[in-house]
Amino acid sequence: MFVKQKICHYILFTLLGWRMIGEPPKELKYIFVAVPHTSNWDFLYGWLAIQALDLNVKIFAKDVFFIWPINYICSFLGVLPVNRRKRTNFVDSIAEKLEQADQLRLLITPEGTRGYQSTLKSGYYHLARKANVPIVLAGPNFADKAFTIMPPRKPLATFVEDQASVIEFCKSQHAYHPENTFQ
């Protein structure tokens, strides 16, 4: 893993000229809430950052990506499938895994799609509350080539309040496709 970390660090921070704002969390369990999510480039740069910082984060993505041979690539990249077409008790099952694990860091993009959405999906919030783990806001700013990682925080009292906080953070970042996110 050390070689992959060094290669990703070199590519992202030296060759591509990105920088970090904030510090990677020290907590062993948390929910990374990654915003904005407007392009597949978000994934590529985000994955490079996760590897370069050696964060050992699992990423959730729609299960439609898990077809042969892409499923092998997804597995290598640390991507886990989520079925969004039907109710699967996702929050309960992942909260249970968080409770049982000594270390588990999950990344969720609460916009739920790369296109514009006026609200966020609430799964990240309910998962953090149920599993009693902090939320870490993080995101790319393509205007100044910076990844921002905010300090871990508890979920706010209500989803409406938490969503407003995430949207405010999202507005501070410059998305790859700004027209597809909160402005």
Query: Residue 86's pLDDT band (boundaries 50, 70, 90)?
Result: low
| 90 compared with 46, residue with greater pLDDT | 46
Residue type, 47: W
Q: What integer pLDDT is reported at residue 115 of this predicted model?
A: 61
Average pLDDT, the chain: 85
Question: Range with the lowest mean pLDDT among 6-10, 90-94, 122-126?
Answer: 90-94
- Indicate the pTM of the whole model: 0.85
pLDDT at 164 > cutoff 90: yes
